[in-house]
Amino acid sequence: MVTYKCMAGVIVLGSISVALSQPAEKSDSKGRDALPVLSRLAGGEWIFEKKQEDGAVFRGRSIIERGPDAKSLLGRGWLGDAGGMFFHAATQIWRDPDSGVVRFQSLDEQGGLATGDIVATSDNAVAWDWNLSVPGGRKSRYRVDMVF
């Protein structure tokens, strides 16, 4: 599990724990509304650091903003280490106008595209049904659990 902290200068404004797992089944898309929970990310710069076994530090940084409708979210993320950071992903989160389901798509630095639904699992948690397709045809599926 990785903990992200929202930073403003040196003041920690909040934190999120994130866990990846191989899902047994798809999350129920008719579950609770994820946008109110995810909206807590808007306006923040979310940073994590994880110390590796060899002592090196792996870092991630995400900036989340509101979309043009003031309800959707747009994110940009970077990954890196002591050698620097690289642009890793651009993400959109929105409510599907036909079904009302909260969906996302995320394009990564290798041309991979992750798509899926996001549902709230509590007032402080969401589950992402993360379906990744990469150039060459490989597909992966994960469940990403975020707890605020």
pLDDT in tens, 31-50: 689 999 999 989 888 888 88
Task: Assess whether pLDDT exceeds 80 at residue 14.
Answer: no
pLDDT for 76? 96
43-47: Cβ within 8 A, 24+ apart: 44/6, 44/7, 44/8, 44/13, 44/14, 45/6, 45/7, 45/8, 46/4, 46/5, 46/6, 46/7, 46/16, 47/4, 47/5, 47/6, 47/7
pLDDT by residue (tens digit) across 90-142? 999 999 999 999 999 999 999 999 999 999 999 988 999 999 999 999 999 98
Per-residue pLDDT band at 59 (split at 50, 70, 90): confident
